[in-house]
Chains A and B, each alone.
Chain A
Amino acid sequence: MAADAVDRKKIVGAALAAPTFLFLLVFFLIPTGLLFVYSFWLAKSFALIPALSLDNYTRALSSWGFYALTLSGLKNGFWTAAFSVVLSFPAAYYIVYRTRGNLLFYIILVSWFSSYLVRIYAWRVILGSNGLINTTLIQLGLISQPLEILLFSPFATILTLVHIMLPFTLLLLVSSLRDVKAEYIEAAKDLGASQFEVFRKVILPMSYKGLVGAFMFTFVLAAGDYVTPQFLGGRDGMTTGIMISNQFRSSGNWPFGAAMAFLLLATFLVVYFLFVQLLNLLKLAPGRRFHD
């Protein structure tokens, strides 16, 4: 009977989705909820005291350091996302529209298989005062003193973060560009669009969701990353992540750490909202009418 068939489909569908959902529920949603509750508690000597207090939030919001480190993290996130998207877009375009097969794609993805920490140390070696770049430049006689700016600077942080994020961004962009089938591009060209106009009026709006997704994922991952800035960002390269992790590790003040984490989450949400509005303003979002 038709009704039975529909019900059965729903049950099968739910059964297939259930394991993942349960996993997320148990290992993500519930712990996040718990942490949120904790953020209103207090702590003393590594032990939690249940309470309903906004102390943690006010303490974080009145700390100048919190704002500064968060800004630093946001800057890292923004530049990393921007460079990653801008650099991987041509590669994605080439992979989707100009080649059959995925060889170039795999080559770029291979760089993803190296360990995160190994990468950080590798960049230290390359960018350091006695590292690859400096010794080469000195040997070539182009400089006489090593360039200090290469390492322990925002440059090093962003460079490494982009290096780490690029394959990830590329993956997302390729996936979303694959949805913009070649025939749409042909149709646009047929109607007289130049390469740039095709990009602005067809490709961008059609891959909009994927583009925003790629940018935001990269942004959040990079803005929340505190290990890379700590190792490569130098004396002034700290981000909020390290404040949060300190609370969980050495201070034992989970509630305060949780409060800062949620404040950071709220910040990211605001940034996302602003970004979408910006795209709307620039007329890049789909679903608009250009006539009356």
Chain B
Amino acid sequence: MTTPPIVELYGVTKSFGAFTVLNDIDLKIADGEILTLLGPSGCGKTTLMRIVAGFEQSTHGRVLLRGVDVSNQPPERRPVNMVFQRYALFPHLDVFDNVAFGLRLKKKSKSEIKKTVTHMLELVQLGEYANRWITELSGGQAQRVALARALVNEPSVLLLDEPLAALDLKIRHHMLAELKRIHVETGTTFIYVTHDQDEATILSDRIVLMNKGAIEQIGTPEEMYARPQSLFCAKFLGETNILSGSVISAEGDTTYVDIGAGAAKVAMNGVPVGSQVSLAVRPEAIRLDKVREVAGKENFNFVDGVIQDVVFMGSRVVYNIRTPINLIKYQETRPVHGISLERGDEVRASWAADAAVLLTH
């Protein structure tokens, strides 16, 4: 990072008795980025976020905000605000007063509050809703009020705890776009928590993939998708075909793996011969041919099989191919002139040597 990180976590561990939720987490978050903590439930992402917010105290480790150690500071003193999963909007106050809550605590003047709150409501496109009561709002509107209420305090970091979980799919996508727009307009650092990899992929500058209290991998969405470093990561983000086997030989930049239906060539190195490995191939990286051709070109690996089902998913089509070693998924965008392959067709699935990722764990 070129500018100093806005949030730093060193050795953050959280245990409840014998049960460890977070294990020695180190993380640096850049100023102004959208960082997503992604993972299945129970992985510790929410706990980690709550530690940053101050609602939980880590058993070991430190939290720094703008270089200041805030590990022992209560949440009300930290320059951090949170959008809660179920919004937690105060039912006894209307929209305006909810948003103004934090400003009133800072004893800002009435005119300043009015100006700031009105502006923030415009920002989240709820300008006309200032006098509504919370019970009169729809899910999406409530979410935006929660966002406004947090952002109006100009926090150093905005934490979002699965904010879209309670919304419909269409609204969710709309809100993601809104969030991105608001992020650009305010420039606030976002820490986003979710278990939904689509949200993470669409929204984030960087993703922190977590599993069982530890960080599996950190990277941009594209890095995480194209170059997963573990089976868990490969399987969590998007669909993958996993072929297991063992390393036969390695030459220079190339490794040969016995996948049970012949040898596969992978453009990676560094894995000792004889190790058990997995090959991860994305469905869209596969090429499907009806006619059995010999894989003449050097970089092509292949497996032969029979199409088991054809799944039409609107803009794309997914084929499940039964092969002697595994069930392979192939995916393409919907052919405009009609789907040519059908169930029962004998096909050859092939992929390039650099289209697969070699994973040791």
Contacts and interface: CB of A to CB of B under 8 A. Distances in A.
Nearest to B82: A190
B74 interface: yes
B101 interface: yes
Contacts of A188: 90, 101
B106 interface: yes
Contacts of A186: 55, 75, 82, 84, 88
B96 A205 contact: no
Contact of A184 (B55, B90, B106): B90
Given A183-B86, A286-B92, A291-B97, A190 B114 contact: no
B92 A205 contact: yes
A181 B91 CA distance: 12
Nearest to B146: A187
Central interface residue in A189, A194, A202, by most chain B CB within 10 Å: A189
Interface residues of A, number: 23
A202 B53 CA distance: 20
A235 interface: no
A192 B153 contact: yes
Interface string A235-253: 0000000000000000000
Q: Say whether chain A's binding surface is mostly helix, strand, loop, or mixed.
A: helix
Interface string A185-214: 011111111100100011001101000000
A287 interface: yes
B112 interface: no
Given A183-B86, A291-B97, A190 B92 contact: no
A190 B105 contact: no
Interface in A272-292: 286-287, 289-291
A190 B86 contact: no
A183 B85 CA distance: 10
Contact of B88 (A187, A192, A194, A201): A187
B96 to A, nearest CB: 5
A192 B105 CA distance: 7
Contact of A289 (B77, B84, B90, B131): B131
A183 B92 contact: no
A193 B76 contact: yes
A289 B94 contact: yes
B96 A189 contact: no
Interface string B66-97: 00000000111100111010101111111011
6 contacts: A183-B84, A186-B84, A190-B150, A192-B76, A286-B91, A286-B93
Interface of A: 181, 183-184, 186-194, 197, 201-202, 205-206, 208, 286-287, 289-291
Given A187-B88, A291-B114, 4 more contacts: A181-B88, A192-B77, A192-B102, A290-B97
